[in-house]
Structures are given as C-alpha cells and as structure tokens.
Chain A
Amino acid sequence: MEEVEKREEGRNDGMLEGGVEVRVLVVDDSPVDRRMVEVLLKKSGAMFQVTSVDSAKRAMEVLGLSEDKTKSPVVDDQKVDIILTDYCMPEMTGYDLLKAVKEQSCQKPIPVIVMSSENEPQRINRCRAIGAEDFIIKPLQTNDVLRLRSYARTGLPPPPPLSSSKAGTKRKMTIELMAESGGGGSERRRPRLTGLAMA
C-alpha cells in the first residue's frame, strides 16, 4: 500500500511573503486522517502544496533519505518545508522518521510536527527531546493547522504551542473523560441543521 498524493490547496489571499507556497509532507497510514489534514490545510487560508504518503518509509523516499546508514544522507530539502507525521505507524514509526530527519547535518533541518491520538506526556517529551517542533493531539483542528504556517513561514519559534502537553491534556482530557463516562452528549446537544445539504 504505497501512495503519494499531491494536491495544491489554498487561496492566494493567504500566501506567504513573496508568494511562496508552503510545501507540506503529510505522513499517515490512515486514509481518513490524510484526507482530513489535506482539507484542513486547504481551509486554513494559506497556500499549501500538500504531498501525502501512507508510510514513513515512503516519506524517506520523498525526502531522499536512505535507510542504509553507510550512504551519506543528503536531504532533498528543496522539496519539503514542513513534515506533519503521525506517530504510530507500522514498520517505521513517526518517531523513527523524526529521528532520521533531525540527524541530518544540514544547517536548517526541516521542521517536523508529530501527531498522535494518544496524549502521553512521555511520548511528547521523547519527540521534543530529539527536535520535534510541536506535538499535536488528534483529531486535528483548524487551530492546529494554522500553527504549521508559523513554523514554515519564518523559521522562528511560533507562539507557545496550544498543543503542548498541558494545553493538549486539558482539551483532550475534557473531551475524552466526557466521552468515556458514557455521556452521549445529548445533554449538551441541541438540534441543529446538518449542514450536509449546504449548497
């Protein structure tokens, strides 16, 4: 199961300075999550060129990295401005990919954002310790995607992460505790139009 999808998403009114597209490499074995991220990037307003792959191994190929450590790795950093990778993937994990990218000796390694559905402080700290720029708890929201522009645009540290272990914990624990308490949400749901039939 190997696929590389390239989509150009976005509108001109959100372009970066100089009108440069942000080239995002999305790495996720879930087709649902890959599509969600693509649409979120499209809706964010910035001009993103999105390449999606379904495995870390495929991402290595796109980046021009080799798993053979005897070969001197040369990252093809002309292709990608930022990597957004899932943590849990079969064979090669997002952590392994992160490590491989950060081990490159180029001056400005590609920013790597890690995504995970598990809000584990140990996992988050592990990724940050080897250079992950941020760690986002799934499912992704619009705010999470807006942050990507900050990392790719200036190369400067973005505002304090909303998806840090503290903030992420608070948001996700609230939702998950409510869900796991068996609440169907009916007490907080009011009837609404579906929005599905929108023209």
Chain B
Amino acid sequence: MSLMALREQLNGLVNSMFLEGLLDDQFEQLQMLQDESSPGFIAELITLFCGDSERILAELTKLLDQAVVDYQKVDAFVHQLKGSSSSVGAQHVKLACVQFRQFCEEHNKEGCLCALNVVKHEYYLLRGKFDTMLQLEQRIQAYESKQQI
C-alpha cells in the first residue's frame, strides 16, 4: 500500500471515530500537541490510557463480583476511568462512566453490572480502533524513514 493510501486510511479512520462520537474535541487538542518535538505523544498517551483502563476494569469486575459491594471503591475507580477517558477524548467511554456513577450512587448492583458491561463494550470498541490507528501510524513512520534514507 502506498504512503498516500496509508495516510488516507488513517485519516478516514480517525474522522469516522469523530463522526461516530467515539472521540471528541479533546482528542483534537491532543493532536495539536503532537509535533516534531513530541512525535510519539498520542501513541504514548493512548498506551497509558489503555493500560490504566484495563487495570481499572479488572478491579471493577472483582469488586462487583463480591457478595457485598463496596460502592465507594467502585465509584472511586469509575471516577478515575471517567477522568482519563475525558483527558484522551474517549467520549463514549466517558459517558458510560457517567451513567455508571449514577448506579453507584443508588447502590444498584444490577445497574452497576450492566453499566460495567457497557463501559467494557465501549472501551474495547475504542481500543480496537486505537490499535489500528497506531499500527497505521507505525507503518507510515516506517515508510517515511525509508524514504529519507
């Protein structure tokens, strides 16, 4: 695939993520921060986000598996995930966390379990697209490095 085709594919992917609402304005802010002095910034941030999110989702799964749920701890973790998803512009994940916190407030275990599934669904959907994004980015960078030689 040519360099131009790769770039088009990457642009198309990111634009579709904006159009679908997976990403919001905040991701645009991150794009503006990436430049020659910090070329891998977005990749780094996405990697941090994914690692942190999966840690949190594992904790939430464990907490909601308990007979007696500690809603304060659950809420604290959901709050963390809401924060980091907001920071990277992961809009759907953020909104799912907002809903999740409402169920926590109500001490509604069933609601929390449903909300957790929704958050997981949104996160893994986003994660899949982020993986593709980063792979395309790597291929483009490799292509460009080859051209410079």
Contacts and interface: CB of A to CB of B under 8 A. Distances in A.
Contacts of B35: 198
Contacts of B48: 31-32, 35
Interface in B12-53: 13-15, 18-22, 24-26, 29-39, 41-42, 44-45, 48-49, 51-52
Interface in B73-101: 76, 79-80, 82-84, 86-88, 91, 94-95, 98
A51 B140 CA distance: 33
B19 A186 contact: yes
B57 interface: no
5 nearest CB pairs, A to B: A184-B21, A195-B31, A194-B14, A32-B84, A139-B87
Contact of A185 (B10, B21, B88, B140): B21
Interface residues of B, number: 52
A156 interface: no
A88 B82 CA distance: 12
Interface stretch (A37-45, A77-85, A125-133): A37-45
A184 B31 contact: no
A19 interface: no
Interface string A172-191: 00010001101111100101
Given A29-B80, A117-B82, A196-B14, 14 more contacts: A30-B84, A32-B84, A33-B87, A36-B45, A42-B38, A88-B76, A88-B83, A138-B86, A139-B87, A191-B15, A196-B10, A196-B31, A196-B42, A198-B34
B137 interface: yes
Contact of A195 (B13, B26, B34, B52): B34
B70 interface: no
A40 B33 contact: yes
Query: Interface of chain A, helix or strand or loop or mixed?
Result: loop
B88 to A, nearest CB: 6
B108 interface: no
Contact of B52 (A32, A40, A180): A32
Query: Interface of chain B, helix or strand or loop or mixed?
Result: helix
Contacts of A141: 29
B144 interface: yes
B80 A186 contact: no
A183 B21 contact: yes
A71 B18 CA distance: 54
Nearest to A37: B87
B129 interface: no
A184 to B, nearest CB: 2
Contacts of A189: 15, 18-19
Contacts of B13: 194
B107 interface: no
B91 A185 contact: yes
Contacts of A32: 45, 48-49, 52, 84, 87-88
Contacts of A36: 30, 45, 87
B11 interface: yes
